Amino acid sequence: MILSNYMKIINRLKTFKQYLKHIYPICGYTPHNSKPDKIFIYGFYGAGNLGDEIILESILAQLRSIKKYQFIIISKNPVKIYKDYGITSINPNFIKILMPFIKRKTRKGILLVGGGGIVKDYGNSHKTLKKFFNVINVFLDYNFKTMLYSAGVENIQYPESAKIVRTTLNKFDILTVRDSNSKRLLKSLGINKDIFITGDPAVIKLSNNTSSNVSKIKQPCILISLRHWYEKGYFNSDENIFERFLLELSYAINEIIEKYNAKFLFIPFRTEPIDDDRKILNKAVEKIINKDNITIIKKCVTNKTVGKYYDIADITIGMRLHSIILSFSHLIPMIALSYSSKVKDFMNEIKLDNYCIDITKVTKSALIHDIDDIIGNYTVIQQDLRCKRTIYIDKLNQNVNLLNNLL
């Protein structure tokens, strides 16, 4: 045990030492091969949210053709970012202090803000949004080019927040959002610039799938993604509604198992102490009778391992937005459980709102109806997904075209 802990410490020190070498070009200790042109990417990265990590991976894939720029991620967990992506990262708390050094060693600098649901209020004040935007304003003060990159906008509750968003984003060079409702909200806040709807970059993640799962749909594997809902403040504070939802879901799963001998795969998208999907997955499974048909993934699912679960899935029932987006990416028919406007907004964007159920209105009969419909029309639905995915990815490519114009 002592040796094991010792080796862990040594490995962490090695990773940190490699990270320090990688960060030197930003802070003024510039080796001869560093790139003076830099693109900073700012979002909720390195915080243990699988959806956000897939967004970052997909953005980097989109920007692969831009070779002369050094990419730098702004994250509160720089060492993890370096370990996962091999890319330099800076803690946002240090941006203001480091900016004189950054500017001195940067010939051309661009800040990409996004993607994901980053323009929104958290908690019971505007302070979290203000803190996030303070970092952006440091870059604006130093005359960096700026681009809002496939961002989601929702839940702007406070007048102070509306003013911060309006004042800051009206200074941006390019604004792109992931759905029509995000554009509408920005316009309602007084944004007077062009806003482009380009979609969520995560759709790229599993988009190499061209095959059909129809041959094995007779005994479907159904992937389930759930999250705590009533604890997150502005979603809904009524735990009783959530309990009723779990009961209806378990009734539906019991009947689907009996009818189709279906297998259910429960996967967590976040396993942080403050937000652990496994707690609610375990709670949901308690009410299911035939547990032999149930598998719960207990380990943390990463952007490197998530694909193998979608490879075996035929249908997705998902609360987490990116469980639905990955399903769309991999041409897997899905039923979205809308706990937040962003889930409904995505399903509206791909014109599949008929497979989107408000979580307060979920019933056993509604779920079984949609499962029966998907199984009965699987080939047609999958062909429709393929066409829509092609159109969606074409829109996503607009991000790179707009960025190239800015470069």
3 occurs within a structural domain: no
The number of beta carbons lying within 10 Å of the beta carbon of residue 39 is 22
Whether residue 241 is found in the same domain as residue 326: yes
172, 193 Cβ separation under 8 angstroms? yes
Whether residue 164 is found in the same domain as residue 252: no
384 occurs within a structural domain: no
How far from chain centre, in Å, is Cα 329? 13
CA dist 279 and 236 (Å) reads 18
237 occurs within a structural domain: yes
59 occurs within a structural domain: yes
Whether residue 184 is found in the same domain as residue 268: no
CATH number for the domain including 91? 3.40.50.11720
Whether residue 284 is found in the same domain as residue 371: yes
382 occurs within a structural domain: no
Whether residue 21 is found in the same domain as residue 124: yes
Whether residue 83 is found in the same domain as residue 54: yes
Whether residue 245 is found in the same domain as residue 359: yes
387 occurs within a structural domain: no
Whether residue 16 is found in the same domain as residue 86: yes
208 occurs within a structural domain: no
Whether residue 240 is found in the same domain as residue 328: yes
Domains contained in the chain, number? 2
Instruction: For tokens 């949210």, name the residue.
Output: 49
Whether residue 189 is found in the same domain as residue 243: no
16 occurs within a structural domain: yes
169, 133 Cβ separation under 8 angstroms? no
Nearest by Cα to 206 from 8, 392, 398: 392
pLDDT per residue as tens, the chain (407 positions) = 565 666 666 665 555 555 555 454 454 333 444 688 999 999 999 999 999 999 999 999 999 888 899 999 999 999 999 999 999 999 999 999 999 999 998 999 999 999 999 999 987 889 999 999 999 999 999 999 999 999 999 989 999 999 999 999 999 999 999 999 999 999 999 999 999 999 999 999 999 866 555 445 779 999 999 998 755 444 555 778 888 999 999 999 999 999 999 999 999 999 998 889 999 999 999 989 999 999 999 998 999 999 999 999 999 999 999 999 999 999 999 999 999 899 999 999 999 999 999 999 999 999 999 999 999 999 999 999 999 999 999 999 999 999 999 99
Write out the residue range of the structural domain in which residue 371 sits: 214-376
Whether residue 76 is found in the same domain as residue 121: yes
Q: What is the pLDDT of residue 210?
A: 61
Q: What is the pLDDT of residue 24?
A: 46
Whether residue 164 is found in the same domain as residue 93: yes
CATH number for the domain including 331? 3.40.50.2000
CA dist 232 and 229 (Å) reads 6
Instruction: For tokens 């720029």, name the residue.
Output: 69
